[in-house]
């Protein structure tokens, strides 16, 4: 996005990249991703994005991220979470996934009550297989999204924990506007940083 800053110093480029990610994050704050609905299928899963490699290096607190993708629209969300329990995940699901959605997941216990809060719920047991031949349940789509997010994470040689949410926001924002990213970026900047014009009458 900022390859044209070829003559800028490293600090300047980093500052501008941080600014662009903040713009993406603010867009999602103002326009929360809502996916699914009747007739839609959404896959959900959790992924650990911050950990020690091969159990080496300084100790770091594991960082889990909860995510979902609508397999029809390919839109989704990723949110860092401190816990993977029902008290944490179910409110996120209710905020970002419309009632009536068919949700596919693994057999993580936090999802056990989805059918009681307005969703159809289909599970796949990953200890046995990755596709339920009867119900056609799978999490292959969200797994593919995790793979792309991890590839971006590796290209950066890791991510500072305090910047993780903005990197995830940038990733989701780019998926939301794959063909119109530059145009949307200019719109978001204008909305978030409106020009203040003062008229002086002489």
Q: Model-level pTM?
A: 0.79
Q: Going residue by residue through the chain (202 aa), what tens digit of pLDDT does each one get? A: 445 545 556 668 888 889 999 999 999 999 999 999 999 999 999 998 765 554 555 555 678 999 999 999 999 999 999 999 999 999 999 999 999 999 999 999 999 999 999 999 999 875 555 444 444 567 889 999 989 888 876 666 556 677 889 999 999 999 999 999 999 999 999 999 988 766 666 6
Sheet containing 76-81: order of strands: 76-81, 63-70, 41-50, 102-105, 120-123
CA 90-95-101 angle, to 5 degrees, is 80
């Amino acid at each position: 996005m900022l390859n044209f800053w070829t003559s800028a110093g490293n600090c300047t480029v980093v500052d501008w990249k941080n600014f662009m990610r903040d713009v993406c994050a603010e867009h999602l704050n103002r326009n929360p991703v809502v996916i699914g609905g009747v007739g839609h299928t959404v896959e959900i899963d959790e992924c650990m994005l911050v950990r020690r490699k091969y159990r080496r290096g300084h100790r770091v607190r594991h960082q889990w991220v909860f995510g979902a993708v609508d397999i029809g629209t390919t839109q989704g969300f990723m949110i860092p979470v401190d816990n993977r329990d029902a008290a944490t995940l179910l409110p996120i699901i209710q905020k970002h996934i419309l009632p009536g959605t068919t949700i596919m997941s693994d057999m993580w216990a936090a999802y056990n009550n989805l059918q009681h809060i307005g969703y159809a719920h289909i599970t796949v047991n990953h200890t046995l297989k990755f596709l339920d031949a009867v119900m056609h349940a799978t999490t292959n789509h969200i797994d593919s999204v995790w793979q792309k997010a991890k590839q971006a994470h590796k290209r950066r040689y890791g991510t500072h924990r305090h910047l993780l949410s903005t990197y995830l926001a940038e990733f989701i924002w780019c998926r939301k506007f794959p063909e119109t990213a530059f145009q949307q970026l200019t719109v978001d900047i204008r909305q978030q940083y409106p020009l203040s014009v003062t008229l002086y009458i002489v």
